[in-house]
């Protein structure tokens, strides 16, 4: 009962001839559209993945190809399994990265800087760039076969996401979780903007280490101080004080690479274990020329010099004096020390990094002499400080010193740690941090801090794959610092806060009542919220801040702007909107009252099923999604997670273990691979590479013809696909079309021959292994299983083995077809295109079923991607058939080996002489052995002419008719090699068995096995020796 019209396919598989057409079929069928109604009605279970949105800054690279292939494998697998699947696609605006790229482009093309444009004008340029790259990225994802729900594609700055950002910001602001504070940022003094940490490049520079002396003083009261003498210190037991003239003023020597920052010093620190520390208690240092008197504090951060017990292997200890100048405004470590000791923070620089008294240097007094530095650049001031100290006898030494300094990747200027006002999310608050820690599954926790509570059903559900990444997540949260979310950029979500300096917030008397009334109403209505300092902080804000929930709320804005309020010019860190991605893409905060596109999505698909990403994202993104999802989707207690599973995949490096990068020119473009090898080949290879390790290497080669980078690793995937196509189209489809008739509608395994039962058994095992591997995110195991079952089992053994019988065995033809159709389905998530191409013609061959093999129609059987996942019952696992078939495989291998050694021409048929048991056993396999080993007969009769004996399972078999005359030398050589191998093996076995420890302690079955094996090999050796004797 064959279908009337058969699908014809070309003889050779050229991916580019099929992939676009297959994509078009998927699109036309709306195959990837998710329907939340089916979930909400309870009809199906949801499976969803939120794409980690690629930056619109650049086209996708191989890491994206890997990341998205793995997601697609999961999505397609679950879709076939019958889940309602949603894979939400989208892109990220990537604030600074994108703005920078566009700035470079505009400078190159128009010779203009960003500041030559109005803000809106420049943003329009970035927007145009974004549109271009978003399209490109979308095309790439489609070319990769990603089965996203394309009708729901999002962008982190589109309207619904912007609304989510405003809502989240407003709520956090209102709840006191967003505050204004000071912090050191990476400041680029040339372009005058803050930079993210990853935009700072560390470079080794040849700098100096300067040793400066700070005179010590007593301070009776502020402004009244007197020198400390060495004799005083000696009296207090200060080691070494006696070496100095008694009446001279004592000093401490600090060592620094940046002498000019001494202008902002607010303390000198000494290690509490330093033997000099005790004598210095209560004393102070006076900064030369500046006149500032600063305390001497104790802090264990200070490195002890080697002479005082410091670590000899520590380079710092060799250079250190044991005294550290503390400049909280100009060094991140000093900032930390300043926080610990509540030191004043004195900024001595202007935004261009020149020395200035106008940006926080409040105790500046030109009469002391520091005026000589004001206005100098950092570099000139550095030299001037050295000169002035030298002139006063306070410069102890200057040594050359190579050290690492952060530079702007844009201007290449040295980064200045610069104090500025920024917005922060108080992620250290229990409502955020604890919620993230409690989210972790308990068996992945290593500390007892904030464990899941029994009372919260959403606690303890977050699991990392592989396990070890849980530790990264845990430690990050335990050492968390508040999150700086403001960026001095134009491209991004503008911070919805308006402010005015207190002393400018003047409301005319007659308007005061109305104004106060207005904002009380607005607060009650949730339209505005006033900000304060961080909870528990004593500091006062210098401005009045109001967050306006809706930036289009003209009434409110007009009112505040009337009193001088202006909107914050900064934008939010990109990760703020990314943190909302699992919610915003599904329509939050208006999930159920906007258009159909979002209706029910949040309820049906949040939490999503898994997040698939790279490990550097655990801290930047995963943490923040967990905190925001739990906080914003919560009632009184912590709410649900954005996803229960986090899968972290490997990073692809080049063949030398280097990161792939543009500057090294070692990147591989996925589109080039798709062009040269086909998408399926790329996907297969990427899956196979995805083991549980951190990094995988991909040797990169430049194609001499195209000049494009490629890698030989993809050949395996391409060859695999070719094999599949040749087997399916070239053999199975052709043969089963030509030979039909009499197929049973249902085939019972018991009625089948050994080779069929073996094949079904192998298929059952592979299916089981694949299901298990997928549940554990073991993509490499999945790919390996596919390779083994298709190539090794189905093509190399099964199809070769059934050749002589298939034409006359209708039931066997059913097995051939059913197994192929099952394999196509198993393969589909990894290699979707070629399997979709083959699915129709293979399905058209279906004439019967095998009991235990189910091939469900799924949602829509006209496409493989919406067909059901195959079920292969474990009852098909047949140990007996496997044992018999494997024995035959070993025999065929042994015969092939003899053939090769005797150089028997491939086509020459030879004769196997065996004992009756063996012959009987082989005859149960049909003609399989003869076909695979190239035999004309298997017989119990003795060879007539010359024959070559060989050993198999301890039994001597013979092969005859190898050649017109057997070459004795070849045979002797073969036997001698065999003897050598046997001697080695027998020696090892004897040694093991003569060890009483082994026979007494090892499991009995292992000892027994070893004995049997020894006996068998000894028998083989005897036979080989005998044969060698006969040869003479």
Partner RNA sequence: GGGCGAGUAGCUCAGUUGGCUAGAGCGCCCGCCUUACAAGCGGUAGGUCCGGGGUUCGAGUCCCCGCUUGCCCA
Site string for RNA, 362-381 (x = CB under 7 A): --------------------
Q: Could you tell me the smallest distance in angstroms from the CB atom of residue 774 to RNA?
A: 14
Closest to RNA by CB, 36 or 832: 832
Closest to RNA by CB, 10 or 375: 10
Binding positions for RNA, 183-222, rule CB under 7 A: 197
Site string for RNA, 858-897 (x = CB under 7 A): -----------------------------------x--xx
Q: Which of 377, 456, 567, 780 binds RNA (CB under 7 A)?
A: 780
Site string for RNA, 441-480 (x = CB under 7 A): ---------------------------x--xx--xx--x-
Q: Is 791 in the site for RNA (CB under 7 A)?
A: yes
Q: Is 699 in the site for RNA (CB under 7 A)?
A: yes
Q: Is 718 in the site for RNA (CB under 7 A)?
A: yes
Q: Which of 27, 695, 936, 1015 binds RNA (CB under 7 A)?
A: 695
Is residue 836 within 8 A of residue 24, CB to CB? The reply is no
Q: Is 997 in the site for RNA (CB under 7 A)?
A: yes
932 φ, ψ to 5°?
A: -80, -25
Where does 175-270 have alpha helices with state H? 230-235
Report DSSP state, residue 799: I
Binding positions for RNA, 594-653, rule CB under 7 A: 615-616, 618-620, 651, 653
Cβ contacts of residue 299 below 8 Å, gap of 6+? 269, 270, 271, 272, 324, 337, 340, 341
Binding positions for RNA, 542-581, rule CB under 7 A: none
Cβ contacts of residue 243 below 8 Å, gap of 6+? none
Tokens 């989210």 belong to residue:
439
As given in the structure block, the two tokens for residue 593 are 């009252």
Cβ contacts of residue 889 below 8 Å, gap of 6+? 797
Q: Is 723 in the site for RNA (CB under 7 A)?
A: yes
Task: For residues 683 and 830, give the distance between their C-alpha atoms in angstroms, rounded to a whole number.
Answer: 6
**Distances in whole angstroms, Cα of residue 342 to Cα of each of 327, 328, 334, 645, 763:** 12, 10, 11, 42, 70
Task: For residues 473 and 623, give the distance between their C-alpha atoms in angstroms, rounded to a whole number.
Answer: 7
Cβ contacts of residue 596 below 8 Å, gap of 6+? none
Tokens 């009483």 belong to residue:
996
Q: Could you tell me the smallest distance in angstroms from the CB atom of residue 284 to RNA?
A: 29
Binding positions for RNA, 10-69, rule CB under 7 A: 12-14
Task: For residues 368 and 547, give the distance between their C-alpha atoms in angstroms, rounded to a whole number.
Answer: 45
Q: Could you tell me the smallest distance in angstroms from the CB atom of residue 836 to RNA?
A: 17
Gyration radius (Cα) of the chain, Å: 38
Q: Is 111 in the site for RNA (CB under 7 A)?
A: no
Closest to RNA by CB, 113 or 897: 897
Is residue 658 within 8 A of residue 631, CB to CB? The reply is no
Binding positions for RNA, 296-315, rule CB under 7 A: 314
Closest to RNA by CB, 640 or 780: 780
Q: Which of 691, 921, 927, 931 binds RNA (CB under 7 A)?
A: 691
610-614 and 645-649 beta bridge pairing: parallel
From the list 352, 422, 406, the residue with the least C-alpha distance to 185 is: 422
Report DSSP state, residue 744: -
Q: Which stretch binds RNA (CB under 7 A): 167-175, 277-285, 637-645, 709-717?
A: 709-717
Q: Could you tell me the smallest distance in angstroms from the CB atom of residue 945 to RNA?
A: 22
Q: Could you tell me the smallest distance in angstroms from the CB atom of residue 848 to RNA?
A: 22
Report DSSP state, residue 466: S
Is residue 950 helix, strand or coil? strand
Where does 144-215 have alpha helices with state H? 159-174
Q: Could you tell me the smallest distance in angstroms from the CB atom of residue 722 to RNA?
A: 4
Size of the site for RNA (CB under 7 A): 80
Task: For residues 947 and 99, give the distance between their C-alpha atoms in angstroms, rounded to a whole number.
Answer: 80
Closest to RNA by CB, 413 or 620: 620
Binding positions for RNA, 656-685, rule CB under 7 A: 657-659
Is residue 800 within 8 A of residue 690, CB to CB? The reply is no
Closest to RNA by CB, 127 or 694: 694
Beta bridge partners of 735: none
Element of type H or E holding 675? helix 670-677
Q: Which of 721, 759, 783, 928 binds RNA (CB under 7 A)?
A: 721
Q: Is 831 in the site for RNA (CB under 7 A)?
A: no
Q: Which stretch binds RNA (CB under 7 A): 109-117, 384-392, 696-704, 813-821?
A: 696-704
For 318, other C-beta atoms within 10 Å of its C-beta total 14
Q: Could you tell me the smallest distance in angstroms from the CB atom of residue 636 to RNA?
A: 32
From the list 505, 555, 497, 499, the residue with the least C-alpha distance to 525 is: 555
Cβ contacts of residue 319 below 8 Å, gap of 6+? 209, 255, 399, 401
Binding positions for RNA, 148-167, rule CB under 7 A: none
Q: Is 521 in the site for RNA (CB under 7 A)?
A: no
Task: For residues 591 and 603, give the distance between their C-alpha atoms in angstroms, rounded to a whole number.
Answer: 8
Closest to RNA by CB, 197 or 204: 197
Closest to RNA by CB, 467 or 542: 467
Q: Which stretch binds RNA (CB under 7 A): 90-98, 100-108, 713-721, 833-841?
A: 713-721
Task: For residues 24 and 793, give the distance between their C-alpha atoms in angstroms, rounded to a whole number.
Answer: 33
Q: Is 936 in the site for RNA (CB under 7 A)?
A: no
Q: Is 982 in the site for RNA (CB under 7 A)?
A: yes
Q: Which stretch binds RNA (CB under 7 A): 127-135, 318-326, 902-910, 1022-1030?
A: 902-910
Is residue 534 within 8 A of residue 426, CB to CB? The reply is yes
Tokens 């409040």 belong to residue:
362
Is residue 87 within 8 A of residue 146, CB to CB? The reply is yes
Q: Could you tell me the smallest distance in angstroms from the CB atom of residue 489 to RNA?
A: 20
CA atoms within 13 A on the CB side of 730: 12
Closest to RNA by CB, 62 or 528: 62
Binding positions for RNA, 727-746, rule CB under 7 A: 727, 730-731, 734
Closest to RNA by CB, 78 or 677: 677
Task: For residues 823 and 816, give the distance between their C-alpha atoms in angstroms, rounded to a whole number.
Answer: 11
Site string for RNA, 116-155 (x = CB under 7 A): ----------------------------------------
Q: Which of 396, 568, 981, 990 binds RNA (CB under 7 A)?
A: 981
Q: Which of 693, 706, 737, 940 binds RNA (CB under 7 A)?
A: 693
Task: For residues 514 and 564, give the distance between their C-alpha atoms in angstroms, rounded to a whole number.
Answer: 17
Binding positions for RNA, 1012-1031, rule CB under 7 A: 1013, 1017
From the list 827, 997, 922, 913, the residue with the least C-alpha distance to 77 is: 827
Closest to RNA by CB, 693 or 976: 693
Q: Could you tell me the smallest distance in angstroms from the CB atom of residue 578 to RNA?
A: 14
695-698 and 701-702 beta bridge pairing: unpaired
Q: Is 1002 in the site for RNA (CB under 7 A)?
A: yes
Site string for RNA, 476-505 (x = CB under 7 A): x--x--------------------------
Q: Which of 243, 367, 552, 907 binds RNA (CB under 7 A)?
A: 907
Q: Is 988 in the site for RNA (CB under 7 A)?
A: yes
Closest to RNA by CB, 501 or 792: 792
Q: Is 403 in the site for RNA (CB under 7 A)?
A: no
Q: Which stretch binds RNA (CB under 7 A): 82-90, 136-144, 246-254, 711-719?
A: 711-719
As given in the structure block, the two tokens for residue 155 are 């962008």
Angle ∠(1017,912,929) on CA atoms, nearest 5: 95
């Amino acid at each position: 009962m064959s279908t009337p019209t058969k699908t014809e396919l070309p003889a050779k598989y050229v991916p580019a001839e099929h992939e676009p057409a297959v994509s078009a079929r998927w699109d036309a069928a709306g195959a990837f559209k998710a329907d939340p109604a089916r979930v909400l009605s309870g009809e199906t279970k949801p499976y969803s993945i939120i794409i980690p949105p690629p930056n619109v800054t650049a086209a996708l690279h191989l890491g994206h190809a890997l990341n998205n292939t793995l997601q697609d494998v999961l999505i397609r697998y679950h879709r076939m399994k019958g889940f309602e699947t949603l894979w939400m696609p989208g892109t990220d605006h990537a604030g600074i990265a994108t703005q920078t790229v566009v700035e470079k482009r505009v400078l190159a093309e128009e010779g203009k800087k960003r500041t030559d444009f109005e803000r809106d004008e420049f943003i329009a340029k970035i927007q145009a760039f974004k549109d271009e790259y978003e399209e490109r990225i979308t095309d790439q994802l489609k070319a990769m076969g990603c089965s996203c729900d394309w009708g729901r594609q999002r962008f982190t700055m589109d309207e619904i996401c912007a609304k989510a950002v405003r809502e989240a910001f407003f709520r956090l602001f209102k709840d006191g979780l967003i505050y204004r504070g000071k912090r050191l940022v990476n400041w680029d003094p040339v372009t005058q903007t803050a930079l993210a940490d990853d935009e700072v490049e560390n470079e080794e520079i040849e700098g100096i280490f300067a040793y400066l002396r700070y005179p010590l003083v007593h301070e009776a009261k502020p402004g009244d101080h007197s020198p400390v003498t060495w004799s005083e210190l000696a009296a207090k037991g200060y080691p070494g004080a006696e070496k100095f003239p008694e009446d001279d003023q004592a000093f401490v020597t600090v060592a620094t690479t940046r002498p000019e920052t001494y202008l902002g010093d607010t303390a000198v620190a000494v290690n509490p274990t330093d033997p000099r520390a005790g004598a210095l208690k209560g004393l102070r240092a006076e900064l030369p020329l500046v006149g500032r008197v600063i305390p001497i504090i104790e802090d264990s951060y200070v490195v002890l010099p080697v002479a005082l017990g410091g670590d000899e292997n520590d380079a710092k200890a060799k250079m250190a004096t044991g005294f550290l100048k503390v400049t909280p405004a100009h060094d991140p470590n000093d900032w930390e020390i300043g926080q610990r000791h509540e030191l004043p923070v004195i900024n001595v620089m202007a935004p261009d990094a020149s020395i200035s008294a106008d940006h926080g240097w409040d105790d500046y007094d030109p009469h002391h002499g520091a005026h000589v530095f004001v206005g100098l650049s950092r570099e000139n001031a550095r030299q001037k400080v050295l000169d002035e100290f030298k002139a006063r006898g306070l410069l102890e030494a200057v040594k050359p010193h190579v050290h690492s300094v952060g530079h702007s990747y844009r201007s290449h200027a040295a980064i200045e740690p610069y104090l500025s006002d920024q917005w922060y999310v108080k992620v250290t608050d229990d409502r955020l941090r604890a919620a993230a820690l409690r989210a972790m599954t308990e068996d992945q926790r290593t500390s007892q801090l904030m464990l899941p509570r029994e009372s919260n059903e959403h606690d303890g559900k977050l699991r990392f794959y592989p396990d070890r990444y849980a530790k990264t997540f845990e430690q990050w949260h335990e050492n968390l610092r508040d999150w700086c979310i403001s960026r001095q950029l134009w491209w991004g979500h503008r911070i919805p806060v308006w402010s005015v300096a207190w002393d400018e917030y003047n409301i005319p008397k007659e308007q005061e009542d109305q104004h106060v009334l207005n904002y009380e109403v607005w607060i009650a209505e949730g339209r505005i919220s006033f900000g304060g300092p961080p909870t528990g902080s004593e500091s006062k804000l210098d401005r009045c801040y109001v967050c306006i929930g809706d930036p289009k709320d003209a009434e409110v804005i007009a009112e505040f702007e009337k009193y001088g309020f202006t909107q914050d010019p900064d934008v939010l860190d990109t990760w703020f909107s990314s943190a909302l991605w699992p919610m915003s893409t599904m329509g939050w905060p208006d999930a159920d009252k906007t258009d159909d596109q979002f209706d029910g999505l949040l309820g049906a698909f949040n939490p999503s099923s898994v997040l698939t990403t790279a490990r550097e994202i655990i801290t930047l993104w995963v943490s923040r999604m967990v905190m925001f999802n739990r906080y914003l989707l919560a009632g009184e207690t912590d709410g649900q997670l954005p996803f229960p599973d986090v899968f972290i995949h490997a990073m692809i490096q080049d063949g030398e273990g280097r990161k792939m990068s543009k500057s090294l020119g070692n990147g591989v473009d996925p589109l080039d691979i798709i062009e040269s090898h086909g998408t399926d080949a790329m996907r297969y290879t990427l899956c196979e590479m995805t083991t549980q390790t951190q990094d995988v290497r991909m040797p990169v080669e430049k194609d001499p013809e195209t000049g494009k980078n490629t890698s030989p690793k993809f050949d395996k995937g391409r060859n695999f696909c070719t094999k599949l196509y040749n087997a399916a189209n070239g053999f199975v489809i052709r043969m089963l079309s030509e030979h039909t008739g009499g197929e049973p509608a249902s085939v019972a395994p018991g009625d089948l021959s050994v080779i069929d039962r073996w094949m079904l058994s192998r298929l059952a095992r592979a299916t089981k292994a694949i299901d298990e591997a997928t549940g554990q995110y073991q993509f490499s195991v999945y790919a390996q299983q596919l390779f083994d079952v298709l190539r090794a089992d189905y093509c190399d053994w099964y199809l070769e083995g059934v050749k002589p019988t298939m034409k006359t065995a209708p039931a066997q033809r059913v097995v051939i077809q059913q197994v192929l159709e099952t394999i196509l389905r198993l393969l589909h998530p990894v290699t979707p295109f070629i399997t979709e191409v083959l699915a129709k013609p293979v399905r058209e061959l279906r004439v019967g079923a095998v009991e235990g093999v189910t091939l469900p129609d799924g949602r829509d059987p006209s496409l493989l991607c919406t067909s059901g996942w195959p079920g292969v019952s474990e009852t098909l696992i047949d140990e007996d058939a496997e044992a018999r078939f494997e024995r035959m495989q070993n025999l065929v291998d042994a015969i092939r080996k003899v053939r090769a050694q005797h150089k028997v021409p491939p086509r020459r048929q030879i004769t196997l002489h065996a004992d009756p048991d063996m012959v009987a056993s082989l005859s149960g396999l049909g003609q399989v052995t003869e076909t695979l080993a190239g035999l004309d007969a298997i017989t119990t009769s003795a060879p007539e002419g010359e024959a070559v004996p060989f050993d198999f399972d301890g039994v001597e078999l013979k092969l005859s008719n190898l050649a017109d005359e057997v070459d004795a030398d070849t045979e002797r050589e073969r036997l001698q090699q065999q003897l050598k191998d046997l001697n080695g093996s027998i020696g090892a076995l004897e040694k093991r068995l003569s060890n009483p420890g082994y026979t007494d302690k090892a499991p009995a079955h292992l000892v027994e096995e070893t004995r049997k094996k020894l006996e068998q090999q000894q028998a083989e050796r005897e036979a080989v020796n005998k044969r060698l004797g006969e040869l003479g």
